[in-house]
Amino acid sequence: MSVDAMQGALRAEHAAVWTYGLVSAFIAVPQQVAEVADGANAHRARRDVTERWLRDAGATPQPPAAAYLAPQPVDSAAAAIAALVSVETDACVAWRGVLERTEDGALRKSALDALTVSAVRATRWRKAAGLTPASIPFPGAGVG
Amino acid sequence: MLLAAATAPLAVACTTPPPPPPPPDPLSELVKTALSDAALATAAGAPETAAARSEHAARLQAEVDRATPRVPGSSVPPATPTSVAPPPGASREALVPALQAAQKQAGDLVASAQPYRVGLLASVAAGCASLVEALS
């Protein structure tokens, strides 16, 4: 297992937890409110699992930052959704980084699940934002 | 004459047999699935899915070609993805189970894949899951 890659994934999960908390004040559509709550719960659970993997490997999990920078100031529903697209996309990149740096089958399975659920959420928020295509062909592969 | 006839089978048996052909690349099956999904998506009027699955097929084929040892003087043409006839009964409803199966097909290879392949396989699996979400 690469501790650096896992710390990167943990950073992405901390940022996602923080961002889902931040945006909740700007999301009013009932279905989206439920999806924000789901996403927040999922990222909290993933953060906890990631911290456990790191501790089990003898590493100290990095604490969250005081705040995270959204791509644009979050002052509207549209900006809130853009921030969610951004954190989910970043999480995909971080988890693919973990996958490429471990041969541990159990960790790969967990990282694939993290990559997949973030890719699906990224698609959901891209759809809500009216972005096309709604899905990314190679989630986690970075830009291009 | 008699001696020659008697030793000939022995000589044959001692000759090193030609190396067996390399086992088929498991990614070749993923290429076929991606092309089939692209054809199905085109027929079902889902261009985003068709484009994404065509890209999957191209990247997977590129990895198969890279990894396939070239035999000098071999007359085997490089494998190029060919278009696949759309299956009968193409519909958006048929697309979702096809994409879910493709997600599993790629995902199942992730645990044991070579490190240089695992990222591509994982992105294809997650990409298929994303396409299902995009269709919903």
pLDDT per position as a tens digit, A78-118:
999 999 999 999 999 999 999 999 999 999 999 999 999 99
In angstroms, what CA-CA distances link A100 with A74, B80, B120?
33, 27, 9
Candidate from A99, A124, A127 with C-beta closest to B119:
A99
Cβ neighbours of residue A102 closer than 8 Å, sequence gap 6 or more: A1, A2, A5, A108, A111
pLDDT for res B83: 62
pLDDT for res B91: 83
pLDDT for res A144: 41
pLDDT for res B23: 81
Name residues of chain B where pLDDT drops below 70. 1-15, 71-88
Q: Does B111 contact A108 at a Cβ distance shorter than 8 Å?
A: yes
Q: Does B125 touch chain A (CB under 8 A)?
A: yes
| Greater pLDDT, A26 or B4 | A26
- pTM higher than 0.90: no
**CA-based nearest residue to B129, from B99, B93, B97, B94:** B99
Whole-number mean pLDDT of chain A?
Answer: 95
Say what the alpha-carbon torsion angle A33, A36, A42, A44 is, to the nearest 10 degrees: -110
Query: Rounded to an integer, what is the distance from CA B90 to the centroid of its chain?
Result: 22
Domain ranges of chain B: 24-66+89-136
Distance from CA of A69 to the nearest CA of B (A): 26
- Token readout for B4 is 């020659």
| Greater pLDDT, B13 or A62 | A62
Closest residue on chain B to A112 (Cα): B122
